[in-house]
Amino acid sequence: MFSNRIFKKQFEFYYLVELTRERIKPLSRWEKPVNKKIRKWLRRQGFFVEIVPRKTLLKRTVFETVFSLSSRYVDYYYKKFVNASLRLRSEKNKMEGFLFGYPSCCVQQFIQHPYHPNHLRREDQSLLFHWACDGCRVTPDLVSDYRKIYNRILGDTGRNKIKINRGMNQSSRMWQAAAAAVFSTGCLSAQITDDMNHFIPLPNDMNQNGLAYAEEIILGRYNDDSHQSCHTYAQFFKARIDSLPDTEQTDRAYKIEYLMRGVVQCEKCDAYVNMGYVVLVHPLRHLELEIPYLGLHFMENGYFSWGNNAKVQRVDIDTLKRIIFPYDPAHMLPVDNDTDQDGLTDAEEDSLWMEYYLENKDFNGDSVPDGAQIAEELVRLFPNLKETQDGIHSHIELQPVWGMETCQVCGTVQNMGSIIITNPENQRICQIPFMGLHALAHGSFAFNGTVHQNQRMDAISLYRAMKTHMLFIQGDADQDGLEDHEEKLFGFDSSHADSDQKGICDGPFLALNCAEKIMSLPTEPVTTGSYAEFVGMDGVHLCAVCGKEIVMGIIHIYNPLINMTYPFEISYYAFHFLKQGSFAYEGAQHGRIDPVQLLHVLNMLPTRIHSEIPVNGPVSFSLEQNHPNPFNFTTAIHYRLFTTLPVTLSIYNLQGQKVKTLICEIQEPGEKQVRWNGTGNNNLLVSDGIYFCRIRAGTKNQSKKMILLK
C-alpha cells in the first residue's frame, strides 16, 4: 500500500497526463526525472518525452521530465531550457507559460505579483497548475475543462486520502504499476523529533543549548542550559508559520511560498525537502524574512540552524520574532493609570516623547502596543551592553544567586538574581531581576514570579538607564558610532574605538567637530564655502534619551562649491544628538546623519576623498513644492521615488503639531501625487496660515512650506 502522500502524487501525475492527452495542456512538466518504465509507458500512450537538465541557484544539476503529443513542443522546450537556471527572467517565464497553456494575463500577473489574491474558490484554484490572475476571462473555461478531467479520474475524495476510480482503464492500471518505481523513493519530510540529531553547534553558544546569548535574551530564556528552550521555540515558531495565511494581508503577518523544482537532502536524517523557500511578511512593520524549506525542516526538529557542521545557515530569530510573535498578551499584566492599556502608564507616555498619545494604544499603527514596542526595543538593545565600561555606552553587571523562581504566567524558570545597569552619561543606575528581563522579552514591564511577585519596572528609569545618546548602529565592529567602511574612509582603525588613543572614541570625536563647525557657519549666503540656514518652528520634542525639550526646527546647509540640487538637511532634534557625539538619533524622530555626506558638505574631508563622494549621496526621493501655493482649500503635493521605500507624508502646523497623515505605506518607484483639502485628522477644516508638508522616505526627510488662505 502506498502512503497517502505517495498515493496523492500518483494521482497528480496521472491527472497531468490526462490533461495533456486531451490537449488542454499542449506540454506538461513533471519536476523530477522518471525511470525507463515510465518513459516507455508514456511513449506507448503516444507522448514524446524528454528528460531536461536544469540548474539550481547553487549551480547544481537537477532533472525534469516534459512530455507532449507534439514533438515540436518537446524539442522547443529542450532547446530553450536545457541547463537553464530554475529561476528564470520574465521573458522565459512568459515562454514557459505559453508552452504549458497558461493564460498570458495570468503569467504576466504572476511575474509582477506572485500569488496576488484572486476571486477563485480554493477548490477551483487547486485544480489548476498556474495561479490565476484576478478577473481572468480565460481561467473560468479552463476550470470547467480541468474539472471534467479531474472528476473523470477521481473516485472518492476524503479528508485524509484520495482514492482512484475503481473503473480504471487499462492505461490507468499500467500507470498504477509503474508509479511504484517513481514514488517509492521516500517521503519529502521527516517525522518531528525532539532529540539532538539535528543539533549543529554555534560558535557563540556558551552553554551549548542551541541558542546564542542574544537569542536567549530576545526569547526570554536567559541562561537555560537545556536544549528544551530551543526545541520549544523552534517548534512553536514553525507551528506559527504553518498557521499564517498564504495570501497577501494588509493588517497582519502572512507568508508567500516559493516551491522550486528539485529537492535537497537533509544530511542529518536523509529526508528529502523541497529546495524552495517561504517569505514571511509583516506589512505594518515593513519586515520580511526568507527561510528555506530545509530551515523549516530543522525547526520542526527543534533547532534554528540548518546544513552541516561545515556549512551552517541560521534563522534570524530576532526578525522572526518581530514578524510573527512580537509580544505575548498573556504576559502584559494590567497596569494602573494606563488609559489606553498599552502597557505604559500615562506619565510614562508623556515623559518618553510627545508623539505618544494617551488615547492611542498603538500610536504608529504597526499592530504592536506602544508599551510592548518600547520593551522590544530595550530587549534588542540589551545584548549589546557589555560588562566592561567604554565610557560612551551603558554597561551591565550580572548578579546571579543560588536559587530559581518560576514565572506565574508561563512557568518559565529563571535565576532569582538580578542585573545592574549603569549609565555613564547621566549616572543613572537601575536594577532589574532576571524575571523582569524575561517579562520584557514578552512585551511587558510588569512581571509576576514566585519570588518577585506582582512587580513592575519603571519604563522611564529603565529606558534612560540603558540608553545613551551614543546609539548602537549596524556594521560598527568597535561600537564607536561609525560604520567600518566609514572609518576606513576617514583613516580610523575599525578594530579600535579610539584609534589615536586621545581618550575620545572616533565617532564622538568626529560628531563633536561637525557640530562645532555647523555652529560657526555664517547664516548669510557666501560663495567661498558652506553656510547655514536655521529654520525654527513653534513646538518642542522631548529627547527620548535625556528628557530634554528640543525646539522644533531644521538646519539647511548649503555649499556653493558643490553642485547640490537641494541643501543638506538636519533637524534640530538630530543636531541635539550630534552635539552629544552621535550621528544616529532616535525618539519622536529616528535616523542617522550620513557622516560622509556631512563632512563633504562642510569641506572637512581630505581633498582626495571629495571626488569620490557622489553629489548629495544616493538620491532616493524628491519632494516638489505643492501647487497651487498659496492655496484655497485644496492643493496637490508631488513627489518622486527612485526606489521602493516606506513613505510617510504628513502635514504639520507652525507649532510642530501633526495635523494630518496623508500617506503611510510602502510605495514603488515613480511619480506620486497626493492632495490635501485643508482638513485635519478629524476631517474638519483647519484655520488658514502656514503649514509644513513633511515626507519621510526610508531614513531621510524633506519638508516644504505651504500657505493656506481662505
Quick: pLDDT tens for 633-676: 788 898 888 777 778 888 888 777 788 888 877 777 778 888 88
DSSP per-residue string spanning 81-95: HTT-BSS--HHHHHH
Task: Give me the pLDDT at residue 183, please.
Answer: 34
Task: Give me the pLDDT at residue 191, please.
Answer: 36
- One domain for residues 81 and 123: yes
Task: Give me the pLDDT at residue 116, please.
Answer: 76
Residues 6+ apart with CB under 8 A from 535: 553, 554, 555, 556
Task: Give me the pLDDT at residue 57, please.
Answer: 65
Is the separation of the CB atoms in 467 and 474 below 8 Å? Answer: no
- Is 196 inside a domain boundary? no
Split into its structural domains, the chain has a count of 5
**528 pLDDT exceeds 90?**
no
What's the Cα-to-Cα distance from 134 to each of 103, 107, 120, 125, 140, rounded to whole Å?
Answer: 12, 12, 8, 11, 11
**379 pLDDT exceeds 90?**
yes
Is the separation of the CB atoms in 651 and 643 below 8 Å? Answer: no
- Mean per-residue pLDDT, 162-183: 36
Structural domain that includes position 147? 4-183
- One domain for residues 603 and 630: no
Q: How confident is the model at residue 575 (pLDDT cuts 50, 70, 90)?
A: very high
**CA 319: distance to chain centroid?**
6
- One domain for residues 511 and 595: yes
Instruction: Single out the residue in 269, 290, 324 at which a domain terminates.
Output: 324
- Is 208 inside a domain boundary? no
Task: Give me the pLDDT at residue 452, please.
Answer: 92
Considering only residues 11 and 462, tell me which one the structure prediction assigns the higher pLDDT: 462
- One domain for residues 243 and 178: no
- One domain for residues 391 and 503: no
- Mean per-residue pLDDT, 547-555: 88
Phi/psi for 572 (5° steps) reads -60, -35
- Mean per-residue pLDDT, 222-239: 80
Task: Give me the pLDDT at residue 194, please.
Answer: 44
Task: Give me the pLDDT at residue 443, please.
Answer: 93
Q: What is the pTM of this model?
A: 0.59
**449 pLDDT exceeds 70?**
yes
- Mean per-residue pLDDT, 132-152: 83
Task: Give me the pLDDT at residue 358, please.
Answer: 58
Task: Give me the pLDDT at residue 224, please.
Answer: 66
Residues 6+ apart with CB under 8 A from 92: 80, 81, 84
Give the Cα separation of 592 and 605 in Å (integer): 19
Please, what is the average pLDDT of the chain? 81
- Is 170 inside a domain boundary? yes
Give the Cα separation of 238 and 23 in Å (integer): 41
- One domain for residues 459 and 544: no
Helices 370-381, 459-466: axis angle to 10 degrees equals 30
Task: Give me the pLDDT at residue 360, please.
Answer: 76
Residue given cell 498603538 in the structure block: 362
Q: How confident is the model at residue 475 (pLDDT cuts 50, 70, 90)?
A: confident
- Is 237 inside a domain boundary? yes
Computed on alpha carbons and rounded to an integer, the radius of gyration of the chain in Å comes to: 31
- Mean per-residue pLDDT, 469-491: 86
SS3 55: strand
Task: Give me the pLDDT at residue 89, please.
Answer: 65
**214 pLDDT exceeds 80?**
yes
Helices 434-441, 370-381: axis angle to 10 degrees equals 120
Write the DSSP symbol of residue 410: T
- Most confident segment among 32-41, 233-242, 316-325, 654-663: 316-325
What are 258-273's pLDDT values in tens digits? 887 778 888 888 888 8
Burial 522-532 (b: 16+ CB within 10 A, else e): eeeeeeeebbb
- Mean per-residue pLDDT, 617-640: 78
What are 100-139's pLDDT values in tens digits? 888 888 888 887 777 777 878 877 888 888 888 887 877 8
- One domain for residues 450 and 593: no
Give the Cα separation of 468 and 482 in Å (integer): 16
- One domain for residues 19 and 88: yes
Considering only residues 650 and 356, tell me which one the structure prediction assigns the higher pLDDT: 650
**5 pLDDT exceeds 70?**
no
- Is 194 inside a domain boundary? no
- One domain for residues 31 and 93: yes
- Most confident segment among 357-371, 505-519, 550-564: 505-519
Give the Cα separation of 220 and 333 in Å (integer): 16
Q: Tell me the CB-side half-sphere exposure of residue 307, using CA atoms within 13 A.
A: 11
- Is 418 inside a domain boundary? yes
- One domain for residues 275 and 376: no
- One domain for residues 342 and 451: yes
Instruction: Single out the residue in 164, 183, 202 at which a domain terminates.
Output: 183
- Residue 442 grid coordinates: 514578552
Is the separation of the CB atoms in 42 and 51 below 8 Å? Answer: no
Task: Give me the pLDDT at residue 122, please.
Answer: 78
Task: Give me the pLDDT at residue 609, please.
Answer: 52
**167 pLDDT exceeds 60?**
no
- Residue 544 grid coordinates: 527620548
Q: How confident is the model at residue 146 (pLDDT cuts 50, 70, 90)?
A: confident
What are 411-442's pLDDT values in tens digits? 888 888 999 999 998 889 999 999 999 999 99
Task: Give me the pLDDT at residue 703, please.
Answer: 83
- Is 616 inside a domain boundary? no
Considering only residues 629 and 393, tell me which one the structure prediction assigns the higher pLDDT: 393
Residue given cell 545592574 in the structure block: 420
Task: Give me the pLDDT at residue 8, please.
Answer: 54
- One domain for residues 428 and 535: no
- Residue 394 grid coordinates: 551603558
Considering only residues 60 and 259, tell me which one the structure prediction assigns the higher pLDDT: 259
Q: What is the CATH number of the domain that holds 641?
A: 2.60.40.4070
Instruction: Single out the residue in 183, 204, 230 at which a domain terminates.
Output: 183
Task: Give me the pLDDT at residue 192, please.
Answer: 37
Task: Give me the pLDDT at residue 121, please.
Answer: 82
SS3 41: helix
- Is 205 inside a domain boundary? no
